[in-house]
Structure 1
Amino acid sequence: MDFQPDPGLESFRQEVRQFLQTKVPADLKGLQRCTRSPREQIMRWQKILDAQGWGAPYWAKEHGGTGWSVPQILVFDDECTAAGAPTQDGFVQKMLGPVLNAFATPEQKAEHMPAIFSGERLWCQGFSEPGAGSDLASLRTRAELVKSGDGDHYVVNGQKIWTSYAHHADWIFLLVRTNPEVKKQAGISFLLVDMKSPGVTVRPIRSIDDAHHLNETFFDNVRVPVKNLIGAEGAGWGITKFLLNNEHATTADLPELNRYMRELRQFATKLRAGGERLIDRPEFALKLARLDAELQAIGMLVQRVAKLDQEHNPASHVLGSMLKIRATELQQRITETQIEALGDYGAVCYPHPHEPASDQAYPLQDLARGIANDMFLRRASTIYGGTSEVQRGIIAKMQFQL
């Protein structure tokens, strides 16, 4: 892959920056960190992007997207984060959207795509279950086909866990077992389910950062029309592998890594220890340089994985797992270093970014708000999306096959 600078990329960056300066409403700026924006903000921001023609920045033009190159997408994400713009619905933009583009029928696209572009339909992901997280193929949520005069449908029973933002979602994309008699990977199907369906129950789980973004989701005799099946019955595992490979680049969360590093540099130049700036202390300067070098390597790997995936190169699966490991471990190290840089104040649980500012005078209080929460949240980075141990197993198997 050619990593030479694109001479047109800087003008594109300026275009995005100008758009963000003029189009991001003042009351939406800077309200979120590494978590997703509240529902109302996502919907407002999606409408603004859609009016600009940027409603699907990660998709090809033939699917209604911008058709941007990988470097352009990275610039867009980075500038949005730097500007404090609201997030989009990442579940549909980066995960379900590519699945619908690749596997959905024209009727299914006509049903869901307009609401996705307008921001009127938000999504969540129903994959993990108690006892079937890293071993996803062991899922037990059942979907039994029922043929009736009022329309063929599936009856879904089971439980999902760690369902991020299910309490805000309108629909869920769901993995279910439609055939328990075959090899476990072969009996899985991919369904779209309306969260307002009778029998769907969502219960909150508060995470270690004391935020509510996780949930348990229960399905009790939920009727799902057969038309909501994506692909063929039993084809869910293949669709899932397609989706999860896209998720590896998403879990790298390069814009957040860049933001963490910008904040850490500010700490290093403004905070003092023993009468001198942190950046002037050789041991801290060396740590900062090493983290920055790793971040640059992650940035190149993100581009390489995305390029290989566009070319349908199987090596993208191996490198995607490598990227997931290295990027999530780097998230943890940088947030730990941020807390370390704050010294005694690093032990203070700064207010969540959505809470009102306090009157207490902490160093760099505006910048430090939510950093402790980020550090706590990133403890899970090496677990969700497939644990680091599972990713290393994938790498070992694929390396042998390649």
Structure 2
Amino acid sequence: MDFQPDAGLDVFRAEVRAFVRENLPADLAGKPVGSVRSMRADLVRWQKILNAKGWAAPYWANQDGGTGWSVLQRLIFDEECVAAGTPTQDGFAHKLLGPVLNAFASDEQKAAHIPHILNGDRLWCQGFSEPGSGSDLASLRTRAERDGDFYVVNGQKIWTSYAHESDWIFLLVRTDAEVKKQAGISFLLVDMKTPGITVRPIRSIDDCHHLNETFFDNVRVPVANRVGSEGDGWTITKFLLNNEHASAAELPLLRRYLIQLRKLATAQRAGREPLIARPEFALRLARLEAEVTAVAMMVKRVAALEQDHSAEAHALGSILKVRGTELQQRISEFMVEALGDHGAVAYPEPHDTCDGDALPFQDVGRGIANEMFFRRASTIYGGTSEVQRGIIAKMLFQL
């Protein structure tokens, strides 16, 4: 691709930067972000500001109610939001479910859900993984049996991030156990207030609550809430998982880490000088920054391939997933190391309040240890590194 500067993109970046500077409330700027998304109140407030501007859906086409931005424009938007410290959007709704609704949902389903997503009135979680059905998603056992105009759903999902804060869940269920396992899956939209749904917290290794077990006990879901035809769930899921390969590296997260690491290195002292002045530290930081820059260049390449609908984007997206998640782990480990002895302190998670006396480096160190622990799973969720390497090998062989 052409890496020469684009004056049009420079103008666009200036527009985004000016909007964020003028419209981001001061009390939201730079607030800690949870492992996946911001606190609900912050997320919703920022989403309504974006919606009023017409920027509610940066990743969607114009005809779907989105901005119609190119992939490179979306990357710029993400970069400027990270640099300004804005709250996140609901990634489950905007990057996963939204494209599915736009491509497969009926007009009635779009009218029922899209406006609420755009205005931040309805938050979503994802019901895919089950105990014993992680990487082998097609082996899921949660079943949905037809009863007139309803499905009766029974089963269990696990690792349902933010199910305790979500209004709805998009859910994979088995509607036919007699056919090939991939062919018997359907895609449902379920109101989390429906009787029979139980959400139990999972406190993960980072000692935070963002994961859950979700149980379905004779939950009655209208057939009208099924997206696509019965048995289309696998096709829809492949579309969902293949969408936006350029986002696989989580580049905004890596850049947020580097910003946080530089703040920490300025605040932390090694003897009489700030940590950033130590040559060995500065060298390691520079190497990490170079690696993130290399990932950013590859993200732009994948974005260009996506716009050309090239098959190479899929394999390179898997490469980005592997490289990006490995970098997440290494940088988060380095941040804990930079805290020195204070790295052993049990800092509160970003969404908790801190009672009593202030902890050392509370402003810049808050959530670092939690984040490092959480990122142990980043090479597992969304497709393990082993699975990604298999995809890479298969795709490159075909190319």
Q: Which TM-score band applies after superposition, normalised by the shorter structure?
A: over 0.9
Deviates more, 1:250-259 or 1:187-196: 250-259
For residues 221 and 172 of structure 2, what CA distance do their matches in structure 1 show? 13
For 1:389, give the aligned amino acid: E
Pair 1:340–1:223, CA change in 2 (3 A):
same
Report the counterpart of residue 381 of structure 1 in structure 2: 378
For 1:359, give the aligned amino acid: D
Select 1:333's aligned residue among 330, 333, 339.
330
Report the counterpart of residue 88 of structure 2 in structure 1: 87
For 1:95, give the aligned amino acid: L
For residues 196 and 249 of structure 1, what CA distance do their matches in structure 2 show? 34
Deviates more, 1:152-161 or 1:345-354: 345-354
Select 1:221's aligned residue among 218, 221, 229.
218
Consecutive unaligned residues in structure 1, runs of 5 or more: none
Report the counterpart of residue 71 of structure 1 in structure 2: 72
Report the counterpart of residue 118 of structure 2 in structure 1: 117
For residues 233 and 398 of structure 2, what CA distance do their matches in structure 1 show? 23
Contact 1:95 1:247 in 2 (8 A): no
**How far off its partner does 1:276 sit?**
4.8
Q: How do 1:166-205 and structure 2 match up within 5 A? A: 166-205=163-202
- Per-residue CA shift, 1:275-303, capped at 9, x if unaligned? 55544444333322221121012112223
**How far off its partner does 1:382 sit?**
0.9
For residues 29 and 265 of structure 1, what CA distance do their matches in structure 2 show? 18
Contact 2:34 2:351 in 1 (8 A): no
For residues 247 and 125 of structure 1, what CA distance do their matches in structure 2 show? 17
Contact 2:186 2:234 in 1 (8 A): yes
For 2:123, give the aligned amino acid: L
Pair 1:205–1:383, CA change in 2 (3 A):
same
**How far off its partner does 1:51 sit?**
0.6
SS of corresponding position for 2:165: coil
Contact 1:202 1:216 in 2 (8 A): yes
Select 2:314's aligned residue among 311, 314, 317.
317
Report the counterpart of residue 51 of structure 2 in structure 1: 50
Taking only aligned residues, the RMSD between alpha carbons, in angstroms, comes to 2.0
Select 1:241's aligned residue among 229, 238, 243.
238
For residues 144 and 307 of structure 1, what CA distance do their matches in structure 2 show? 43
**How far off its partner does 1:34 sit?**
4.3
For 1:50, give the aligned amino acid: N
The share of aligned pairs that are identical, in percent, is: 71
Deviates more, 1:198-207 or 1:297-306: 297-306
Report the counterpart of residue 294 of structure 1 in structure 2: 291
- Could you tell me the TM-score, scaled by structure 1's length? 0.92
Pairing 1:164–2:154 present: no
For residues 266 and 42 of structure 1, what CA distance do their matches in structure 2 show? 24
**How far off its partner does 1:229 sit?**
1.6
- Per-residue CA shift, 1:299-338, capped at 9, x if unaligned? 1222333333343322222111111111011001001111
SS of corresponding position for 2:19: helix
Pairing 1:129–2:130 present: yes
For residues 52 and 274 of structure 2, what CA distance do their matches in structure 1 show? 46
Consecutive unaligned residues in structure 2, runs of 5 or more: none
For residues 377 and 72 of structure 1, what CA distance do their matches in structure 2 show? 29
Deviates more, 1:332-341 or 1:8-17: 8-17
- Per-residue CA shift, 1:1-32, capped at 9, x if unaligned? 22222223333223222222232223333333
Pairing 1:18–2:15 present: no
- Per-residue CA shift, 1:242-277, capped at 9, x if unaligned? 111236544522112111112223344554435555
Report the counterpart of residue 357 of structure 2 in structure 1: 359
Report the counterpart of residue 3 of structure 2 in structure 1: 3
Contact 1:170 1:195 in 2 (8 A): yes
Contact 2:167 2:193 in 1 (8 A): yes
Contact 2:264 2:365 in 1 (8 A): no
**How far off its partner does 1:361 sit?**
5.9
Pair 1:312–1:235, CA change in 2 (3 A):
farther
Report the counterpart of residue 249 of structure 2 in structure 1: 252
- Per-residue CA shift, 1:55-84, capped at 9, x if unaligned? 101111121111122222122112222222
For residues 39 and 104 of structure 2, what CA distance do their matches in structure 1 show? 29
Pair 1:118–1:360, CA change in 2 (3 A):
closer
For residues 365 and 300 of structure 1, what CA distance do their matches in structure 2 show? 34
For residues 123 and 308 of structure 1, what CA distance do their matches in structure 2 show? 30
- Could you tell me the TM-score, scaled by structure 2's length? 0.93
For 2:131, give the aligned amino acid: P
For 1:56, give the aligned amino acid: A
| Aligned residues between the structures | 397
Pair 1:386–1:394, CA change in 2 (3 A):
same
- Per-residue CA shift, 1:129-153, capped at 9, x if unaligned? 000011111111111223x3xxx22
